Amino acid sequence: MNQSVKDYIVSINSAIEKENFGDKPQELYEPIRYIMSLGGKRMRPLLSLLSYQLYKDNIKEVIPASIAVEIFHNFTLMHDDIMDNAPLRRGQQTVHEKWNDPVAILSGDVMLVKAYQQIIKYCPKEKLTEILEKFNQCAIEVCEGQQIDMNFEEQEEVHEADYIEMIRLKTAVLLGFSLEYGGILAMDNEADQALLYQMGVNAGIGFQLMDDLLDVYADQDKFGKQVGGDIIANKKTYLLIKAKKLASGENGTELKKWLMAKDFDKEEKVNAVKDIYDKLSIKELTEAKMNEYFEKAFKNLEDLDAPSEKKIIIKDFFNYLINREQ
Protein backbone atom coordinates (compact mmCIF):
# COMPACT_ATOMS: atom_id res chain seq x y z
CA MET A 1 0.00 0.00 0.00
CA ASN A 2 1.14 3.49 -0.94
CA GLN A 3 2.76 5.48 1.91
CA SER A 4 0.29 8.39 1.56
CA VAL A 5 -2.62 6.00 1.92
CA LYS A 6 -1.01 4.51 5.03
CA ASP A 7 -0.55 8.01 6.43
CA TYR A 8 -4.18 8.86 5.73
CA ILE A 9 -5.34 5.75 7.58
CA VAL A 10 -3.13 6.64 10.55
CA SER A 11 -4.69 10.12 10.65
CA ILE A 12 -8.20 8.69 10.40
CA ASN A 13 -7.55 6.21 13.21
CA SER A 14 -6.04 8.86 15.40
CA ALA A 15 -9.07 11.14 14.84
CA ILE A 16 -11.40 8.27 15.76
CA GLU A 17 -9.41 7.46 18.89
CA LYS A 18 -9.65 11.05 20.06
CA GLU A 19 -13.43 11.03 19.70
CA ASN A 20 -15.18 10.35 23.00
CA PHE A 21 -18.75 10.13 21.63
CA GLY A 22 -20.32 10.62 25.07
CA ASP A 23 -20.25 9.60 28.70
CA LYS A 24 -23.53 8.81 30.37
CA PRO A 25 -25.26 6.43 30.34
CA GLN A 26 -22.20 4.31 29.65
CA GLU A 27 -24.37 1.46 28.23
CA LEU A 28 -24.96 3.79 25.29
CA TYR A 29 -21.46 5.09 24.65
CA GLU A 30 -19.23 2.15 25.60
CA PRO A 31 -20.58 0.07 22.65
CA ILE A 32 -19.95 2.97 20.27
CA ARG A 33 -16.31 3.29 21.35
CA TYR A 34 -16.05 -0.51 21.23
CA ILE A 35 -17.27 -0.97 17.65
CA MET A 36 -15.33 2.07 16.43
CA SER A 37 -12.15 0.63 17.94
CA LEU A 38 -12.47 -2.77 16.24
CA GLY A 39 -10.60 -1.36 13.29
CA GLY A 40 -11.21 -2.37 9.74
CA LYS A 41 -9.79 -0.76 6.64
CA ARG A 42 -11.42 2.65 7.30
CA MET A 43 -12.11 2.52 3.57
CA ARG A 44 -15.00 5.01 3.55
CA PRO A 45 -13.29 8.02 5.18
CA LEU A 46 -10.17 7.07 3.25
CA LEU A 47 -12.11 7.38 0.00
CA SER A 48 -13.28 10.84 1.06
CA LEU A 49 -9.68 11.89 1.64
CA LEU A 50 -8.56 10.31 -1.64
CA SER A 51 -11.12 12.24 -3.67
CA TYR A 52 -10.37 15.43 -1.72
CA GLN A 53 -6.63 15.23 -2.47
CA LEU A 54 -7.41 15.15 -6.20
CA TYR A 55 -8.32 18.83 -5.92
CA LYS A 56 -6.83 20.19 -2.72
CA ASP A 57 -3.76 19.70 -0.55
CA ASN A 58 -4.92 20.58 2.94
CA ILE A 59 -6.12 17.06 3.72
CA LYS A 60 -5.89 17.51 7.50
CA GLU A 61 -8.78 19.94 7.41
CA VAL A 62 -11.30 17.40 6.17
CA ILE A 63 -10.34 14.48 8.40
CA PRO A 64 -12.98 15.30 11.06
CA ALA A 65 -15.69 15.58 8.38
CA SER A 66 -14.58 12.29 6.81
CA ILE A 67 -15.15 10.42 10.10
CA ALA A 68 -18.92 10.86 9.59
CA VAL A 69 -19.01 8.10 6.94
CA GLU A 70 -17.10 5.72 9.22
CA ILE A 71 -19.54 6.38 12.07
CA PHE A 72 -22.46 5.79 9.70
CA HIS A 73 -20.88 2.57 8.37
CA ASN A 74 -20.40 1.23 11.89
CA PHE A 75 -24.00 2.13 12.76
CA THR A 76 -25.11 -0.12 9.88
CA LEU A 77 -22.80 -2.90 11.07
CA MET A 78 -24.15 -2.69 14.62
CA HIS A 79 -27.77 -2.97 13.46
CA ASP A 80 -27.08 -5.51 10.68
CA ASP A 81 -25.35 -7.78 13.18
CA ILE A 82 -28.52 -7.88 15.32
CA MET A 83 -30.67 -8.65 12.27
CA ASP A 84 -28.24 -11.30 10.97
CA ASN A 85 -27.75 -12.85 14.43
CA ALA A 86 -23.99 -12.49 13.91
CA PRO A 87 -21.88 -13.54 16.90
CA LEU A 88 -18.60 -12.03 15.66
CA ARG A 89 -17.45 -8.86 13.93
CA ARG A 90 -13.79 -8.52 12.95
CA GLY A 91 -13.05 -11.55 15.13
CA GLN A 92 -14.56 -9.91 18.26
CA GLN A 93 -17.97 -10.27 19.89
CA THR A 94 -20.69 -8.21 18.25
CA VAL A 95 -22.32 -5.50 20.36
CA HIS A 96 -25.64 -7.32 20.79
CA GLU A 97 -23.70 -10.41 21.96
CA LYS A 98 -21.38 -8.54 24.33
CA TRP A 99 -24.25 -6.42 25.70
CA ASN A 100 -27.76 -7.17 24.41
CA ASP A 101 -30.18 -6.31 21.61
CA PRO A 102 -31.68 -3.17 23.21
CA VAL A 103 -28.21 -1.73 23.80
CA ALA A 104 -27.19 -2.47 20.21
CA ILE A 105 -30.40 -0.93 18.83
CA LEU A 106 -30.09 2.21 20.92
CA SER A 107 -26.31 2.70 20.56
CA GLY A 108 -26.77 2.28 16.83
CA ASP A 109 -29.49 4.93 16.82
CA VAL A 110 -27.16 7.31 18.63
CA MET A 111 -24.41 6.57 16.08
CA LEU A 112 -26.71 7.53 13.23
CA VAL A 113 -27.39 10.86 14.94
CA LYS A 114 -23.63 11.22 15.64
CA ALA A 115 -22.92 10.80 11.92
CA TYR A 116 -25.23 13.75 11.23
CA GLN A 117 -23.61 15.70 14.05
CA GLN A 118 -20.19 15.13 12.56
CA ILE A 119 -21.32 16.34 9.12
CA ILE A 120 -23.08 19.39 10.53
CA LYS A 121 -20.15 20.31 12.77
CA TYR A 122 -17.41 20.00 10.18
CA CYS A 123 -18.93 20.81 6.77
CA PRO A 124 -19.03 24.38 5.47
CA LYS A 125 -22.51 25.87 5.86
CA GLU A 126 -22.91 26.72 2.20
CA LYS A 127 -22.48 23.07 1.23
CA LEU A 128 -24.46 21.57 4.09
CA THR A 129 -27.83 21.16 2.38
CA GLU A 130 -26.30 19.48 -0.66
CA ILE A 131 -24.20 17.11 1.46
CA LEU A 132 -27.10 16.22 3.75
CA GLU A 133 -29.49 15.59 0.88
CA LYS A 134 -27.04 13.17 -0.69
CA PHE A 135 -26.20 11.59 2.64
CA ASN A 136 -29.92 11.04 3.41
CA GLN A 137 -30.47 9.43 0.04
CA CYS A 138 -27.47 7.18 0.57
CA ALA A 139 -28.51 6.25 4.13
CA ILE A 140 -31.98 5.25 2.98
CA GLU A 141 -30.61 3.21 0.10
CA VAL A 142 -28.25 1.33 2.43
CA CYS A 143 -31.27 0.38 4.58
CA GLU A 144 -33.20 -0.66 1.46
CA GLY A 145 -30.26 -2.85 0.40
CA GLN A 146 -30.17 -4.56 3.79
CA GLN A 147 -33.92 -5.27 3.64
CA ILE A 148 -33.67 -6.62 0.09
CA ASP A 149 -30.75 -8.83 1.17
CA MET A 150 -32.89 -10.23 4.01
CA ASN A 151 -35.77 -10.75 1.58
CA PHE A 152 -33.48 -12.74 -0.73
CA GLU A 153 -32.88 -15.28 2.03
CA GLU A 154 -36.61 -16.09 1.93
CA GLN A 155 -36.85 -16.15 -1.87
CA GLU A 156 -36.49 -19.31 -3.92
CA GLU A 157 -35.02 -17.57 -6.94
CA VAL A 158 -32.97 -14.37 -7.18
CA HIS A 159 -32.18 -12.81 -10.54
CA GLU A 160 -28.67 -11.65 -11.34
CA ALA A 161 -29.80 -8.07 -11.99
CA ASP A 162 -31.67 -7.95 -8.67
CA TYR A 163 -28.56 -9.19 -6.89
CA ILE A 164 -26.40 -6.49 -8.48
CA GLU A 165 -29.01 -3.90 -7.51
CA MET A 166 -29.02 -5.21 -3.93
CA ILE A 167 -25.23 -4.92 -3.54
CA ARG A 168 -25.34 -1.52 -5.23
CA LEU A 169 -27.71 -0.35 -2.48
CA LYS A 170 -26.31 -2.24 0.47
CA THR A 171 -22.61 -1.64 -0.17
CA ALA A 172 -21.75 0.43 -3.23
CA VAL A 173 -23.72 3.67 -2.75
CA LEU A 174 -21.90 4.40 0.51
CA LEU A 175 -18.55 4.10 -1.28
CA GLY A 176 -20.03 6.38 -3.95
CA PHE A 177 -21.15 8.91 -1.36
CA SER A 178 -17.81 8.78 0.46
CA LEU A 179 -15.94 9.72 -2.72
CA GLU A 180 -18.50 12.32 -3.76
CA TYR A 181 -18.43 13.81 -0.23
CA GLY A 182 -14.67 14.44 -0.44
CA GLY A 183 -15.25 15.94 -3.88
CA ILE A 184 -18.01 18.29 -2.69
CA LEU A 185 -15.82 19.42 0.20
CA ALA A 186 -12.94 20.14 -2.19
CA MET A 187 -14.58 21.82 -5.20
CA ASP A 188 -17.75 22.81 -7.06
CA ASN A 189 -17.41 20.88 -10.31
CA GLU A 190 -20.71 18.98 -10.39
CA ALA A 191 -19.72 16.77 -13.30
CA ASP A 192 -16.70 15.55 -11.34
CA GLN A 193 -18.79 15.09 -8.20
CA ALA A 194 -21.17 12.85 -10.17
CA LEU A 195 -18.22 10.93 -11.65
CA LEU A 196 -16.75 10.38 -8.19
CA TYR A 197 -20.08 8.95 -7.04
CA GLN A 198 -20.28 6.67 -10.09
CA MET A 199 -16.69 5.56 -9.57
CA GLY A 200 -17.49 4.57 -5.99
CA VAL A 201 -20.62 2.69 -7.00
CA ASN A 202 -18.83 0.81 -9.78
CA ALA A 203 -15.83 -0.02 -7.61
CA GLY A 204 -18.19 -0.99 -4.78
CA ILE A 205 -20.06 -3.51 -6.92
CA GLY A 206 -16.71 -4.85 -8.13
CA PHE A 207 -15.40 -5.25 -4.59
CA GLN A 208 -18.55 -7.03 -3.42
CA LEU A 209 -18.30 -9.49 -6.34
CA MET A 210 -14.68 -9.96 -5.33
CA ASP A 211 -15.76 -10.71 -1.75
CA ASP A 212 -18.12 -13.35 -3.14
CA LEU A 213 -15.24 -14.84 -5.16
CA LEU A 214 -12.73 -14.79 -2.32
CA ASP A 215 -15.16 -16.58 -0.04
CA VAL A 216 -14.89 -19.58 -2.36
CA TYR A 217 -11.44 -19.27 -3.95
CA ALA A 218 -9.20 -17.56 -1.37
CA ASP A 219 -6.10 -19.24 -0.05
CA GLN A 220 -7.15 -20.53 3.39
CA ASP A 221 -3.76 -19.59 4.89
CA LYS A 222 -4.25 -15.95 3.92
CA PHE A 223 -8.04 -15.65 4.29
CA GLY A 224 -9.37 -14.38 7.64
CA LYS A 225 -12.57 -16.43 7.62
CA GLN A 226 -13.37 -20.00 6.68
CA VAL A 227 -13.09 -20.41 2.92
CA GLY A 228 -16.39 -21.82 1.61
CA GLY A 229 -18.51 -20.27 4.36
CA ASP A 230 -21.00 -18.94 1.82
CA ILE A 231 -21.32 -22.37 0.18
CA ILE A 232 -21.91 -24.05 3.53
CA ALA A 233 -24.64 -21.50 4.38
CA ASN A 234 -26.27 -21.58 0.89
CA LYS A 235 -25.70 -17.82 0.80
CA LYS A 236 -27.22 -16.33 -2.34
CA THR A 237 -24.04 -14.81 -3.73
CA TYR A 238 -23.40 -13.91 -7.35
CA LEU A 239 -21.70 -17.28 -7.79
CA LEU A 240 -24.61 -19.33 -6.54
CA ILE A 241 -27.19 -17.26 -8.44
CA LYS A 242 -25.20 -17.71 -11.63
CA ALA A 243 -24.69 -21.43 -11.03
CA LYS A 244 -28.40 -22.04 -10.33
CA LYS A 245 -29.22 -20.27 -13.57
CA LEU A 246 -26.68 -22.21 -15.66
CA ALA A 247 -26.76 -25.65 -14.08
CA SER A 248 -28.73 -28.20 -16.03
CA GLY A 249 -28.78 -31.99 -16.28
CA GLU A 250 -26.48 -33.70 -13.82
CA ASN A 251 -25.00 -30.41 -12.56
CA GLY A 252 -28.47 -29.13 -11.79
CA THR A 253 -29.49 -32.24 -9.89
CA GLU A 254 -26.22 -32.29 -7.97
CA LEU A 255 -26.42 -28.58 -7.04
CA LYS A 256 -30.03 -28.93 -5.91
CA LYS A 257 -29.06 -31.95 -3.80
CA TRP A 258 -26.37 -29.97 -1.96
CA LEU A 259 -28.65 -26.96 -1.47
CA MET A 260 -31.29 -29.20 0.10
CA ALA A 261 -28.87 -31.29 2.18
CA LYS A 262 -29.50 -30.96 5.91
CA ASP A 263 -26.80 -33.21 7.24
CA PHE A 264 -23.50 -33.02 5.41
CA ASP A 265 -19.75 -32.93 5.76
CA LYS A 266 -18.80 -29.28 5.29
CA GLU A 267 -15.62 -29.94 3.32
CA GLU A 268 -17.40 -32.42 1.10
CA LYS A 269 -20.14 -29.90 0.31
CA VAL A 270 -17.65 -27.09 -0.39
CA ASN A 271 -15.65 -29.32 -2.75
CA ALA A 272 -18.72 -30.67 -4.50
CA VAL A 273 -20.21 -27.22 -5.11
CA LYS A 274 -16.80 -25.92 -6.23
CA ASP A 275 -16.68 -28.78 -8.74
CA ILE A 276 -20.01 -27.69 -10.15
CA TYR A 277 -18.82 -24.08 -10.24
CA ASP A 278 -15.72 -25.23 -12.16
CA LYS A 279 -17.77 -27.14 -14.70
CA LEU A 280 -19.92 -24.05 -15.28
CA SER A 281 -16.95 -21.61 -15.37
CA ILE A 282 -18.54 -19.64 -12.52
CA LYS A 283 -15.17 -18.23 -11.42
CA GLU A 284 -14.44 -16.83 -14.87
CA LEU A 285 -17.96 -15.47 -15.30
CA THR A 286 -17.83 -13.72 -11.95
CA GLU A 287 -14.36 -12.34 -12.69
CA ALA A 288 -15.63 -11.02 -16.01
CA LYS A 289 -18.55 -9.27 -14.28
CA MET A 290 -16.27 -7.91 -11.58
CA ASN A 291 -13.76 -6.61 -14.12
CA GLU A 292 -16.55 -4.97 -16.06
CA TYR A 293 -17.28 -2.85 -12.96
CA PHE A 294 -13.63 -2.20 -12.15
CA GLU A 295 -13.07 -1.03 -15.70
CA LYS A 296 -16.00 1.36 -15.41
CA ALA A 297 -14.49 2.69 -12.19
CA PHE A 298 -11.07 3.21 -13.80
CA LYS A 299 -12.76 4.94 -16.73
CA ASN A 300 -14.59 7.24 -14.28
CA LEU A 301 -11.24 8.03 -12.68
CA GLU A 302 -9.69 8.84 -16.04
CA ASP A 303 -12.56 11.16 -16.92
CA LEU A 304 -12.13 13.30 -13.80
CA ASP A 305 -10.89 16.82 -14.36
CA ALA A 306 -7.99 16.41 -11.91
CA PRO A 307 -4.18 16.14 -12.27
CA SER A 308 -3.01 12.69 -13.48
CA GLU A 309 -0.35 12.48 -10.79
CA LYS A 310 -3.06 12.87 -8.14
CA LYS A 311 -5.11 10.11 -9.72
CA ILE A 312 -2.30 7.60 -9.38
CA ILE A 313 -2.80 7.21 -5.65
CA ILE A 314 -6.45 6.22 -6.22
CA LYS A 315 -5.56 3.88 -9.07
CA ASP A 316 -2.90 2.24 -6.89
CA PHE A 317 -5.31 1.91 -4.00
CA PHE A 318 -7.96 0.24 -6.17
CA ASN A 319 -5.32 -2.11 -7.57
CA TYR A 320 -4.14 -2.87 -4.06
CA LEU A 321 -7.72 -3.85 -3.16
CA ILE A 322 -8.15 -5.85 -6.37
CA ASN A 323 -5.02 -7.86 -5.57
CA ARG A 324 -5.92 -8.47 -1.93
CA GLU A 325 -6.19 -12.08 -0.84
CA GLN A 326 -8.54 -11.63 2.09
Binding region for a second copy (CB under 8 A): 22, 24-25, 27-28, 79, 82-83, 101-103, 105-106, 108-110, 112-114, 116-117, 120, 125, 128-129, 132-133, 136, 139-140, 143-144, 146-148, 150-151
- Which residue type is seen at 74? N
Residues linked to residue 88 through DSSP beta bridges, in sequence order: 93
For residue 96, the minimal CB distance to a second copy (Å) is 10
CB nearer a second copy, residue 1 or residue 140: 140
Which residue number, 21 or 298, has a Cβ lying nearer to a second copy?
A: 21
Alpha helices in the chain (DSSP H): 3-18, 26-36, 43-52, 63-83, 95-98, 101-122, 125-154, 160-167, 173-186, 190-217, 229-232, 238-246, 249-260, 266-279, 282-303, 308-322
Given the complex with a second copy, which of 114 and 274 has the nearer CB atom?
Answer: 114
Give the shortest CB-75-to-a second copy separation in angstroms.
Answer: 8
- In whole angstroms, how close is the CB of 27 to a second copy at the nearest point? 5
**For a second copy, the closer CB: 32 or 276:** 32
**DSSP for 224-269?**
SS-TTHHHHTT---HHHHHHHHH--HHHHHHHHHHHH-SS--HHHH
Q: Which is nearer to a second copy, 120 or 187 (by Cβ)?
A: 120
CB of 125 to a second copy, least distance (A): 6
Residue 103: count other Cβ atoms within 10 Å of its Cβ: 19
What's the min distance (Å) between Cβ of 7 and a second copy? 31
